[in-house]
Structure 1
Amino acid sequence: MKTRKTAIPLAQTLRQQLLWIGSVLALGFLILIFSLGIYSADTLSDKLMWLEAESVVSQSPDQPLPRTPGMSAWRQWQNVPLDLQQVFDISNLQPGDSLETEQRNASGNYEYLYLLFIEDPRHGKLYLISRHPADQVENAFGDFLSETLLQAALFTLVIMLIIFLVIAWVLRRTLEPLSLLSEWAGQLKTHPREATDIQFPITELNQLARQLQEGVSHVQAVNEREQQFLKHASHELRTPLAVVQASLDTLQVQTANTVASRPVNRALKASNRMMQLSEALLWLARESNKTIPQISVDPHALCDQLISDHRYLLEGRDTQISQHILTPELIIEEPLLTVVLANLIRNACQHSGPGNISLQLNSHGVSVTNPAETHQHNPEPGFGLGLQLVERICQKLGWQFHFCLDRNIAVASVYWNRPAP
């Protein structure tokens, strides 16, 4: 079974995504600037050599070329000291090219050597050689790179802060209409007739709000029609049921101790159940909180009677009913309890497969367990519409109704006095 992910608010989701995007962008900026810093440091030596070359060619050709330990210039490669000629390979050297190498000097210290070959109209060919101690170059390179990265990091932080502030402002402005829609939906849930003003700054939200309002109005109209139907139907049934009841009472007296007394008694019991069902439906259709008085009920006699009334549903089927009554008396709403028990038993009998139907009742509630019937055309076992009536009664009385289906075993339970865990 897959574990359902916990839902989180949209604002939190957007903040998390923004954090991830910002982290990736910041890391990308740092990598880019670090790469640019290294590239700039590598090209810095070439730029310095060109600056030194420009200072040489700007002088008069009659002036002697510089011959210092750090910088020397030569017009002919043959005139370059032999030790420097052995360091550089100029076989493929073209005007404007530069070479770089590292060697150990006479004192045993490492130094960097740079060669730049240029061709000037006034001076002709020039070979400029620059040499610097390795530790000075590395220190200068490190200082340059540190300063570059520090400035890059500060620049990145400033840019990212500005981006975050702008996006946060945009998100807040974007979520404001959604918050208004959420508040309006809450008002629509509690006061559907008052939540008629639909004026959101986003067209799609207005369309969604109208669809929600139309859906709620449709459901409300259906519920009102259902309540009116139940109210009228139950009210209209009271008179003919009362006539039938009175007639059956008369027949019961007239057919006492005769062969016809048994079917008359069954009809009288069925009429009583119809009266109870009609009263229950009428009570459900009312919007008032008027309660039905509680009276003393014998659960043994009531369950025996209801099981006997519904045993005909099991004719020709390999199904039995067993009951376990653990309390001798209940103080409860007797008409509604009768309707609930009758529907639970009828549902179990109608949708039970071969096996045993178990009814367990105590002072806290009742539970009916049956093997669920599986049809070839519908592999999912079902349950009857009577359980919907049971659920409606439980909701209005404050009882707890549970129905579960596990491995083709159906369990319908009603608790009117749930014990503490």
Structure 2
Amino acid sequence: MASPSFSNMFLRNKSLKRHFFLRITLLAFSMSLLLSFIASQSFLHGFDRSRQIHMRSAAKYAALDNDRRSEVLGYHIASSWEATPPAIRNVFASPPTATDRYLKHYEDWWYFAPPKKAYFVMRVATDDSQVRYVSYIKPQRPNSNKFRLQDPMVLIAICGSVAFSLFVLVLFYLSRSYRRPLKHFLGWAQSLELKKLPAQSPDFKFQELNGLANVMLDSMASNANALKRERDFLGYASHELRNPIMTLMSNARLLRKAVPASNAKEQQIQDRISRASSTMKGIIETLLWLNRREDTTLISKPVQLSRLLDEVIDELDYMRDTKEIEFTIDSANATRNLPEGAFRILVTNMVRNALQHTSEGHIHISQTDCSLTVSNPYSPEESTASTGFGLGMLLIQQISDKFGWSIEQTKSSRMFTITARF
């Protein structure tokens, strides 16, 4: 498992500049090798063609002696294979059978130095259709197999290396000339903030970079406008909800005084109305606080954790009317100084998420003086899907960040668990 993760990390951290430079350098090196190979093969082919022309000329104009053989400028001409020099017959096991058949053999030859010795033989037909075997033995020269700069193969290799080096130098110079505008673009992109967007992007000297900068700036401006609209809507909606909530709370208090509850059921209904009104007031205050740009603090007061948890479960009990869900609650009788509205949002969304993603089974809730854990089963088709909270999780995360709380999510077997530490 370590190897794939290392490979993925390497791919994620790969530099585009280094990747491009290495690929182009590899391409240039391959082209240099290919062209050098073609040049060397062309040289060898030209050498063989020149040798064949000389052999044909020697066979055409040489006059044979009584032994049916002759020698012209080092070329041995014979009318039969048996009349060729013994060294040629020792090297080549059989004579060339076709007309203009050309054979060659090199001894101790490596690419960048002449061979120690070379043997050539060719079957030629004269104008009167007589067969001639023309052979040539390149004599051994002192230090012939040593590296020499004037050797054609060495010159080809040197030219190829010089051309490749010049290409790499030019490529390196070009990459350095591109580095400054790219570095400028990267620094500018990293400095962008939604709250302080510039009116226009700077000039990066290249049309592609300028176009990319304009697209990035337009995208961030669009996101900033959307975020501002959402923030304004949240602020307006929260402010507008304050009046009806305050009216509801006042009427609930008047109802309690004007029409006292005659039985426990009516008392329970009045308590629910008062509690729901207070909850809505706390939620609205929390949303307004999250929407404020200045750093302010919510008032903390003693909160009995187990009682608040029971109230939240009672308010959300309707969500399991059509489901076979049972609660297993393990709560401690603890009291903490907390911002009640923000903490209630956190608890409500944790319990609501468990109810939404559970079809049947047991939801286990564990509450201590510093943590709250909710575990719920999930169906197999949801095992690969996201079990996120949506807007609720966003509020939980923002509240946790504001107050320094932590949120942990774990998934094991067929259970999903979320833990809030405060």
Q: Scaled by the length of structure 1, what TM-score is found?
A: 0.73
Write the mapping of 1:41-60 to structure 2, written as runs, cut at 5 A.
42=48, 45-46=51-52
Partner amino acid, structure 1, of 2:187: E
Partner amino acid, structure 1, of 2:336: L
The 2-side partners of 1:300 and 1:111 are apart by 102
Q: 1:249 to 1:286 in 2, by over 3 A?
A: same
2:83 is matched with 83
Measured after TM superposition, the shift of residue 230 of structure 1 is: 2.0
The 2-side partners of 1:281 and 1:288 are apart by 14
The 2-side partners of 1:83 and 1:306 are apart by 115
The 1-side partners of 2:53 and 2:279 are apart by 105
2:239 maps to 1:235: yes
Give the conservation status (yes or no) of the 8 Å contact 1:99–1:116: no
Which sections of structure 2, spanning at least 5 residues, go unmatched?
A: 63-69, 107-116
Bigger mean CA deviation after superposition, 308-317 or 151-160: 308-317
The 1-side partners of 2:102 and 2:221 are apart by 83
Aligned length in residues: 389
Give the conservation status (yes or no) of the 8 Å contact 2:349–2:389: no
2:13 maps to 1:31: no
Partner SS for 1:189:
coil
Choose from 242, 246, 253 the match for 1:249: 253
Measured after TM superposition, the shift of residue 40 of structure 1 is: 5.4
2:354 is matched with 348
2:233 maps to 1:213: no
2:283 maps to 1:277: yes
Residue identity over aligned pairs, in percent, reads 21
The 1-side partners of 2:317 and 2:216 are apart by 47
Give the conservation status (yes or no) of the 8 Å contact 1:115–1:128: yes
Bigger mean CA deviation after superposition, 221-230 or 110-119: 110-119
CA displacement 1:83-129 (0-9 Å, x = unmatched): 349979799768xx977799xxxxxxx99475797989xxxx9x896
The 1-side partners of 2:202 and 2:50 are apart by 65
Q: 1:321 to 1:116 in 2, by over 3 A?
A: closer
2:320 is matched with 314
Partner SS for 2:197:
coil
Partner SS for 1:291:
coil
Q: 1:293 to 1:153 in 2, by over 3 A?
A: farther
Q: 1:147 to 1:271 in 2, by over 3 A?
A: same
Measured after TM superposition, the shift of residue 322 of structure 1 is: 1.7
2:161 maps to 1:154: no
2:372 maps to 1:337: no
1:164 is matched with 168
2:27 maps to 1:21: yes
Write the mapping of 1:19-418 to structure 2, written as runs, cut at 5 A.
19-36=25-42, 38-39=44-45, 42=48, 45-46=51-52, 71=74, 83-84=83-84, 112=119, 132=137, 136=140, 140=144, 147-174=151-178, 176-189=180-193, 192-194=196-198, 196-256=200-260, 258-259=262-263, 260-325=266-331, 328-372=334-378, 383=389, 385-403=391-409, 409-416=415-422
Measured after TM superposition, the shift of residue 159 of structure 1 is: 0.4
Q: Scaled by the length of structure 2, what TM-score is found?
A: 0.73
CA displacement 1:140-174 (0-9 Å, x = unmatched): 47768993333222221110011112223334444
Partner amino acid, structure 2, of 1:202: F
Q: 1:257 to 1:159 in 2, by over 3 A?
A: same
Bigger mean CA deviation after superposition, 14-23 or 153-162: 14-23
Give the conservation status (yes or no) of the 8 Å contact 1:367–1:413: yes
Partner amino acid, structure 1, of 2:228: E
Bigger mean CA deviation after superposition, 215-224 or 233-242: 233-242
Partner amino acid, structure 2, of 1:334: E
Partner amino acid, structure 1, of 2:282: Q
2:17 maps to 1:8: no
2:66 is matched with none
Indicate the RMSD between aligned Cα atoms, in angstroms. Answer: 4.6
Measured after TM superposition, the shift of residue 275 of structure 1 is: 0.8
Give the conservation status (yes or no) of the 8 Å contact 2:302–2:338: yes
Measured after TM superposition, the shift of residue 44 of structure 1 is: 6.6
Give the conservation status (yes or no) of the 8 Å contact 2:99–2:125: no
The 2-side partners of 1:264 and 1:20 are apart by 81
Q: 1:327 to 1:162 in 2, by over 3 A?
A: farther
